[in-house]
C-alpha cells in the first residue's frame, strides 16, 4: 500500500524532532524485523530499539528461558510468566498479581505485548527501559523476593546450563545487567499489530461489522476516547503515553493527606523504595507522584494500551474494573471526582446501545492470534453485563451533578469520524458503515 502524504509528513516531523533532540552521538537503531504486522510502524521500531539492544536469536532464546524461569524467585515458585502469561495475552487475568508465599501486590499486571514501544515502564513510569523493568520484580519483596542482584547471579551460577548459555551469548560470566538484557530481548519480540481493526483501517471495510463501525465512530467522536487513546502510524498502542488521574481510586483515599504523608517519606531517586511503595503500601494509589513528587501527578497513572484490551482484563492500575462495560461506565459518568482529577474528564452521555457498540469495537483491537481467547473473554464479560457497579446513568446524562457539557455528537451522514484511512488520511469509502470498497 502506498504511504499517504499525511503519514509521510508525520513521520518526517517525528524524525526531525527525534534527531534534533538526540545526543551528539546518538545510538544507531536496530533494523526492524521483516515483515512487520500492519499495525506496527517500522519508524517507531527504529526509535524504540537501539542497535545495542537488538534482539538477536541467541539472546532472545536465553531471554525466553529466563522469562519462564521460576528459580529466579526466592522459593522457586514465580517467574515473569506467572504474572505475564503468554497464553493470557501476557497478563494473569487477576485484579492484582500474586508473588512468592501467596503475597499480593497493589497493582494489576500490564501486558508485555508492545511494551517495547512504551515511553516508560510500569503504571507509574518508574522504569525507563525494558531492561530496568526486568530487574525490579525479581528483587521486590512481594513479587520474586530475591534479596539482591548478587544473590540472583550467585543462584544462576549454580546452574550449569546458565553458566554455559551466558558465556555463549555474552562471552562473559553471568551478570545482573546481562540477565535483564536477555529478558528484554525476548520482550522486544512480543509486538502485536494484526487485529481485525488493522485490516479495516487498511481498507477492508467488511473486517468490522455494523456495531463495531459505529463504535469506531463513537471512539473518535462523542465518547472522546481518542483524546488519550488515539492510534496512528507512529503510535500503534492507542495510548498517549502520558499519566492521568481519572478518579479510579479516589474513593479509597484522602488524596491531599496521602500526598502530604508521601512527600515526607519518599526519598528522591531511591528506585528500590519507590518500587516497594508502589506494590506494598497504600501509597501505591499516589501513582506517578511517587516518581515525580509533583502535586499534579497525585493519583495519575499511565494511559494503558488498548491493543489486545479484550483479553487483558481486569482493568485499571488496581484491577478494580472487571469488564469493558465497567470501564465505559466509569468514563461515562466522568470518573470519580477528586481534587486532582484530570481536566479532560467529563460526563459523556452515552446511551446503553452506544456503550455496547464501543465495547464491540474495543474487542476488534485484539491480535488475531488470540481470536479464540478474545471470543471467550467477550462471552465472559457479556455474561456480567448486568452487574454494573460503576454505572450512574443520572450523572452520565446530566440529571444530577455538574460535570460539564457533552462532547460533540456529529451527524454521521455529514461527517463520520470513522471515515479515516491509514492513520490520518481519508482513504476509506464514505461512510464506512454503509458502503463497500
In this prediction, residue 281 carries a pLDDT of 81
> Per-residue pLDDT tens for 92-151?
999 999 999 999 999 999 999 999 999 999 999 999 999 999 999 999 999 999 999 999
Q: How far apart are CA 53 and CA 400, in angstroms?
A: 53
Residue position matching grid coordinates 491480535: 367
Angstrom distance (rounded) from CA 284 to CA 261: 12
42-49: average pLDDT: 89
160-193 residue pLDDT tens: 999 999 999 999 999 999 999 999 999 999 999 9
The pLDDT value recorded for residue 269 is 59
Residue 309, pLDDT above cutoff 90: yes
User: Is residue 143 annotated as a catalytic residue, yes or no?
Assistant: yes
Counting Cβ atoms within 10 Å, is residue 327 exposed (0-12), middle (13-18) or buried (19+)? buried
Residue 103 has a pLDDT of 93
Of the residues 143, 187, 212, 377, which is catalytic? 143
- In contact, 158 and 152? CB cutoff 8 Å: no
- Mean pLDDT for the chain overall: 86
**Sequence-distant (≥ 6) Cβ neighbours of residue 86 within 8 angstroms:** none
Q: pTM of the full predicted structure?
A: 0.86
Structural domains of the chain, with CATH: 49-189 (1.10.760.10), 196-247+299-400 (1.10.760.10)
Amino acid at each position: 500500500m502506498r504511504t499517504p502524504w499525511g503519514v509521510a509528513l508525520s513521520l518526517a516531523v517525528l524524525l526531525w524532532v527525534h534527531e534534533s533532540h538526540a545526543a551528539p552521538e546518538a545510538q544507531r537503531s536496530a533494523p526492524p524485523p521483516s515483515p512487520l504486522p500492519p499495525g506496527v510502524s517500522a519508524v517507531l521500531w527504529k526509535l524504540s530499539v537501539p542497535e545495542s539492544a537488538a534482539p538477536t536469536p541467541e539472546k532472545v532464546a536465553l531471554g525466553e528461558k529466563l522469562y519462564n524461569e521460576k528459580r529466579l524467585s526466592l522459593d522457586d515458585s514465580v517467574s515473569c510468566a506467572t504474572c505475564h502469561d503468554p497464553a493470557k495475552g501476557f497478563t494473569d487475568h487477576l485484579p492484582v498479581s500474586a508473588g512468592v508465599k501467596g503475597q499480593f501486590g497493589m497493582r494489576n499486571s500490564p501486558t508485555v505485548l508492545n511494551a517495547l514501544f512504551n515511553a516508560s515502564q510500569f503504571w507509574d513510569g518508574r522504569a525507563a527501559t525494558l531492561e530496568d523493568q526486568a530487574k525490579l520484580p525479581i528483587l521486590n519483596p512481594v513479587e520474586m523476593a530475591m534479596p539482591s542482584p548478587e544473590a540472583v547471579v550467585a543462584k544462576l551460577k549454580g546452574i550449569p546450563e546458565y553458566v554455559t548459555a551466558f558465556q555463549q551469548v555474552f562471552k562473559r560470566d553471568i551478570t545482573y545487567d546481562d540477565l535483564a538484557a536477555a529478558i528484554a530481548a525476548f520482550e522486544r519480540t512480543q509486538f502485536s499489530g494484526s487485529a481485525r481493526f488493522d485490516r479495516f483501517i487498511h481498507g477492508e471495510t467488511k473486517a468490522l461489522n455494523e456495531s463495531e463501525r459505529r463504535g469506531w465512530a463513537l471512539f473518535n467522536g462523542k465518547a472522546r476516547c481518542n483524546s488519550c487513546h488515539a492510534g496512528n502510524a507512529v503510535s500503534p498502542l492507542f495510548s498517549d503515553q502520558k499519566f492521568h488521574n481519572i478518579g479510579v481510586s479516589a474513593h479509597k483515599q484522602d488524596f491531599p493527606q496521602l500526598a502530604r504523608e508521601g512527600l515526607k517519606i519518599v526519598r528522591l531517586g531511591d528506585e528500590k523504595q519507590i518500587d516497594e511503595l508502589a506494590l506494598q503500601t497504600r501509597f501505591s494509589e499516589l501513582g506517578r507522584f511517587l516518581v515525580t513528587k509533583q502535586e499534579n501527578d497525585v493519583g495519575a497513572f499511565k494511559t494503558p494500551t488498548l491493543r489486545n484490551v479484550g483479553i487483558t482484563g481486569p482493568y485499571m492500575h488496581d484491577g478494580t474494573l472487571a469488564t469493558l462495560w465497567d470501564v465505559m461506565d466509569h468514563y461515562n459518568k466522568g470518573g470519580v471526582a477528586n481534587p486532582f482529577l484530570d481536566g479532560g474528564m467529563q460526563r459523556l452521555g452515552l446511551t446503553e446501545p452506544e456503550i455496547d457498540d464501543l465495547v464491540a469495537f474495543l474487542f476488534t483491537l485484539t491480535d488475531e492470534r488470540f481470536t479464540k481467547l478474545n471470543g471467550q473473554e467477550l462471552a465472559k464479560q457479556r455474561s456480567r453485563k448486568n452487574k454494573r457497579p460503576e454505572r450512574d446513568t443520572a450523572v452520565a446524562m446530566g440529571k444530577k451533578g455538574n460535570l460539564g457539557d457533552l462532547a460533540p455528537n456529529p451527524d454521521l451522514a455529514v461527517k463520520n469520524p470513522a471515515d479515516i484511512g491509514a492513520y490520518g488520511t481519508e482513504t476509506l469509502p464514505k461512510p464506512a458503515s454503509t458502503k463497500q470498497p
